[in-house]
Structure 1
């Protein structure tokens, strides 16, 4: 059970850049549920979608796995023989807690796919032949010049019939759309109990760390990386998820 997110509840003289440290890990499930509209629906349905694309004897990657919510969904839904889930995160605190959560899942469920948790940089990871790759709110934390190369490597690793499942916060090219959806996102946070101080300080902490793209930018980059189709399947306010097919 996670603690309630109170990280930005007190005034800070200087707001540091957001990092996935032990403090964040402790409150992360509460933080993401209260900050990302549609997050529980996205995570559970990534497991459902993955089951449609998983090929026997391949790896399923959860890149930027954080506490392993997507990995758990993959293991709940995918039954293709010979598959293994590899969950990867570069934050030691996240990877350590992810292993604990997956061990708990093993104790409650029988015959789940085997899983390996790696503490590693996904930009340097050698990818095995994969049928499903999940990038669930991960690409937006990768430096923009490095995103194309990562997607090209993922495309090369995907086997026929596989898919990349990509979820991201979106920005919008139309200023009126951007303003409207930003206001709606702030309303979502207020409705989930965040104060104006918490909202403002979290925004200051994350604005230099998370750089969202528009759907058009995502689509162009994915097509340039060698994907043949990019299909949105979910959007809630300014958060979306789509399928990229090789």
Structure 2
């Protein structure tokens, strides 16, 4: 499967439509996320190490908002416990179509079930690990705590949630600095000022970031015993939440 260069916002678009994970985005997604999300390869790779630590025999691991399956593959290749399986869920048919190609080409023996659907409606059952990598930020605010509560309920004792998000900072000066650094990161990766501006416009009111304090408090309210940051680069952070 070839990965095309992301030029979706390279030409003037007039009125920018809201961002969707359609066939055009699926076609360029690996290039888009590599050049847009600082620390993304590290978070995905280290998610695999967490799977090696937390996957317990006979359990299910979930990748909610799996896109093209990067986190699924990372978990799959590091699971050491016997009898595990992975359920990977996305609501975009175009993303799942390409994800299926990736999973089939991988050839690892750990079974992966791909499901098209709304992650808010997917049962979480007998899980040892759940990954929400840059997914919760696209869920309506009112639905976020109920989703995390269902995840906490469906996790085995000792299970883990990996929650990666674009975040906001409460201090206005630090928020402005991190936004600027993120834009510099994009420009250093070859995006033009026009591309940065048009994509930001497309994501407005679609991607709704929150502060780390809000994420921590929500995880505790949802039933997790512990929650904190384990990786951060600029205004992108990943948290682990533990169930005891």
With the length of structure 2 as denominator, give the TM-score of the two structures. Answer: 0.98
Structure 2 counterpart of 1:189: 186
1:55 matches 2:61: no
Please give the root-mean-square deviation of Cα atoms over the aligned residues, in Å. Answer: 0.7
Residue deviations 1:87-112 (CA, integer Å, cap 9, x gap) = 00000001111011000111xx5xx3
What secondary structure is seen at the aligned counterpart in 2 of 1:234?
strand
Q: How does 1:203-222 map to 2 (within 5 A)?
A: 203-222=200-219
Find runs of 4+ consecutive structure 1 residues off by over 3 angstroms. Answer: none
Distance 1:83 1:231 in 2: 26
Structure 1 counterpart of 2:46: 45
Q: CA deviation at 1:78?
A: 0.8
What secondary structure is seen at the aligned counterpart in 2 of 1:66?
coil
Distance 1:17 1:187 in 2: 23
Q: CA deviation at 1:51?
A: 1.3
Q: CA deviation at 1:50?
A: 1.7
Q: CA deviation at 1:161?
A: 1.4
Contact 2:55-2:79 within 8 A present in 1 as well: yes
Distance 2:140 2:52 in 1: 30
Gaps of 5+ in 1: none
Residue deviations 1:49-70 (CA, integer Å, cap 9, x gap) = 1211111111000000000000
1:16 matches 2:13: no
What secondary structure is seen at the aligned counterpart in 1 of 2:51?
helix
Distance 2:203 2:90 in 1: 18
Residue deviations 1:145-194 (CA, integer Å, cap 9, x gap) = 10010000000000011100110111011101100100100000000000
Distance 1:194 1:231 in 2: 32
Q: CA deviation at 1:26?
A: 0.2
Distance 2:155 2:220 in 1: 14
In structure 1, which of residues 152, 168, 173 is the aligned counterpart of residue 170 of structure 2?
Answer: 173
Q: CA deviation at 1:231?
A: 2.4
Aligned length: 242
